[in-house]
Amino acid sequence: MDTYAKPENVDTNVIKNLGPFTPLIGTWEGEKGTDIAPIKDGSDETKFREQITFEPLGPVINGPQVLYGMSYKCVAWPIGEEEAFHQEVGYWLWDPKDKQVMRCFMVPRGVVLIAGGTAEADAKSFDMEANAGSETYGILSNPFINTSKRTIKYTLSVIIEDNNHFSYEEDTILQIHGVKEPFHHTDGNRLQRV
């Protein structure tokens, strides 16, 4: 049997073609998360736990472009609390021909994002980025968010430590209405396979 658990009804060829995402298939949990978020007069630090589930999909055929990927769902809760403070759904996509890693997701605040970067198929770490105004790796928000806490840039760094652990650091750079300097809303966690 493979090192990675093969989900039922998924073609082995799909798993084989997930490139750097292959080790991420499955469900992950972590309780070492730190979220630095803006508040009225500064920032607030929240320690959190989260669960992320990655399910393989593909191939996705866009004419000559063939993508492989994973649908995913992420939920995060402040430590010691039952009500989630963050949720997102989306896709992580791999373009083997152009060596592009992509993360497309939506949060229920009315923000959608597609971030991307370049990586080798066997990479154990990779970075993705999105910028407001970009027509490729970009960010869109609902009108209220766009004028109150507009996301101007997003970066993500992922490190796959081994088959049972991975970590990430992300920076969502916000332009907050009435504040001159952009705010770095950061999140990071180390997760283990469930």
C-alpha dist (Å) from residue 87 to 33, 94, 165: 14, 23, 21
- Share the mean pLDDT of the chain: 93
The stretch 147-176 carries a mean pLDDT of 97
pLDDT-wise least confident of 9-13, 138-142, 156-160, 165-169: 9-13
Where does residue 98 rank: exposed (0-12), middle (13-18), buried (19+ CB within 10 A)?
Answer: exposed
On whether the pTM is more than 0.85, the answer is: yes
Q: What are phi and psi of 145, to 5 degrees?
A: -60, -40
CB 74 within 8 A of CB 50: yes
Decide which of 55 and 2 is more confident: 55
- Interval 96-119 mean pLDDT: 97
SS3 label, residue 24: helix
Report the percentage of the chain scoring pLDDT > 90.
Answer: 89
DSSP 26-88: EEEEEEEEEEEEEETTEEEEEEEEEEEEEEEEEEEEETTEEEEEEEEEEEEEETT-SS-SEEE
Q: What is the pLDDT of residues 41-52, one digit of tens each?
A: 788 999 999 999
Q: Give Cα 22 to chain centroid, integer Å.
A: 15
Each residue's pLDDT tens digit, 6-38:
455 566 777 889 999 999 999 999 999 999 999
Report the C-alpha gap between 84 and 68 in whole angstroms.
30
How far out from the chain centre does Cα 26 lie? 15
Q: What is the pLDDT of residue 146?
A: 95
Domains and CATH numbers, the chain: 12-193 (2.40.128.20)
Q: How far apart are the first and last CA of the chain?
A: 18
3-state SS, residue 133: coil
